[in-house]
Structure 1
Amino acid sequence: MKFSPTAKAAIKSHSCHFPEGKLTNEQLERELGVWSASRILDRTGIAVRSVAGPDECASDLGFAAAQQLFAQGSCAPSDIDFLLFCSQSPDYFLPATACLLQHRLGLRTDCGAFDLNQGCSGFVYGLGVAKGLIETGAARNVLLITADTYTKYLNAKDPTVRTLFGDAAAATLIGAVEADTDLIGPFVFGTDGSGAHNLIVPAGGMRHPTSSATALVRDFPDGSRRSLQNLYMNGREVLSFVLREVPKAIDQLLLKWGGSIDQVDHFIFHQANKFLLEQLRNELNIPTSKFWLQMETCGNTVSSTIPVALQSASKQGVIRSGDNVMVVGFGVGYSWAGAMVRIH
């Protein structure tokens, strides 16, 4: 592998995979009895969620997405120099799921591989790592797989989160190209761990191991029904965090980029839910024609929402070569990240 000092990292190809299981608003209306199907759609922007099967893990979804990418002819498994696996629902505590996927996908044994334990900002973090690997000469082709099965963390009777999350995976090929300017970057990153308790699965790790007590399901004043082994989200606090930090991060990103918000061709933000995204769009005065929404048929797929939206917009011909796209992820952690991407 020869290193070129003029090589720039670029997104070359992407593919997505959704599990066969589906959860519709009509099912949620019948099972939860809290909101009508039409109200769920109006508030969340979601009509159907993809749901992994009982024995289907994030690595299975990621494997399928990567296989689709290889089938497109963009590259072969032997071309991959580094595998990044971004997920908060790994197969095991250890080993890293990336190592399992390296073997399963038939990647070379001199291929680097590790996991990123990031959620909604994970795709942008992965882009940053891939850019660093490529532009320092450590790799020429990086396979970034994002995959989550958040539905396995949800209590079936909890309306506060079950209306939002779906499962999916995306495989993105980031490769070295000869270019005069950056095709990925600049970046902004942010972290505020003081809000970690507002979006969390409290029990199951080393800090709070599972037990009969953590499995006990309770009804909470906020309308949620869950155990400590289920996902908890304080929606009001998460919304406040997003509206406080994301506009500032976008201002910082535009300053680094040296352009104005009007010069951005497309905005693809983490597809959390329609209500939150519309709040952001209005605050930033972004035209609806430039602002992408892609959650109606799959739900909030956590680390995969941005690449899912990128692929959808590209397939529909909305995003074309030469376009400047702003990608911004935000959520669990609290963590946020933004980047400019010039479509290769």
Structure 2
Amino acid sequence: YEVIIDTAGSKGEEVKIKALSREKADKLQAVLMQEVQTPNEAIHSNDNEDHAQVSTQEIPQWKYSLSTGTLLRLGLSTNYLRGVWVLLLFAGSILQQLDMNLLDENYNSQLERAYETYINADYTMTLLLIAIPLIFIVGIIITTIEIFIKYFGLKLTRTKHDLQLEMGLRTNTRVTLKPIRVQVFTVLINPVQRYLNLFQVQLALANSTDVTDKSKIKIPGLPKKIVRNVRDFLFDFREGESMEVFTPHHLLFIRRCVVGLLPLLVGLSLWYIFLDFFRWELILPVILLYLPILIISQWYAYKAIILQFTDEFLIKKTGLWTKKTEIIPIYKLQSIT
């Protein structure tokens, strides 16, 4: 095991201590976290009070752990297109290596003649109808395996002063978080995961570096009640508090529609330049199908953008399919651009 120590405003890793046993790593973590408690808890206390305080601190107030079934549901409802993309990249890399190292020009020409002679359009269509669902299923399996490896054994424990997170199959990671370290609290949810009550929480930590991915902790598969418990522990957030609501100008919707038209225009231009059968009877149905989907999707994406202010928090809501809610304490804002 190794223990990594970092502080708010520092780079990701200030001190790294390697080659420790599990027992010594746990003891070192407990001692360090005990030393950083607030001063008013360390002053004016005798030995008995200190001992009672430490014992109370170590008693978990609540726990949550991901079961195997929850991990499976999480894998099936997560962004499985990532798995499809990884599979396509892997297959493309293999085909490129085969084409460069094993196949010469004569063999390529023979394959082309064989394709033109023996393989017709019906065969190609049948192959696509089989290959596309198969690739989709394999992508889901890849994503599910990735979820199992990364979040297996996830345990979330709240003590009096901190939040403890443990997860990982290949690399077991244990993190102890204090509320002062968290700058942004983010909740992600899509309709499928909302039905399954599987919310994802992201905690953006105070860090002087600009690499945001390394300073974020992702905790998936949490029910709504646990999400509220984590939020209330990190921030003194009160629901129902009066707030000001702002929505973006309608020009943003127009700009998003114009940007969404670019792929259609580029595709039609390439079709007209490089292909001979540029026919409006083929293009018009594509346009009539593309435009309503573009306008409707961009309208709902535009309406989903909401900015809310309370006396203490800034709340930002975005997302069409995956809803994203960010809660930022105003006193922790570092800059406004």
Q: Normalised by the shorter chain, which TM-score bucket? A: under 0.3
**Would you tell me which structure has more helix in proportion to its own residues?**
2
What TM-score, normalized to structure 2? 0.21
Q: Which has the larger radius of gyration?
A: 2
TM-score if structure 1 supplies the norm length?
Answer: 0.20
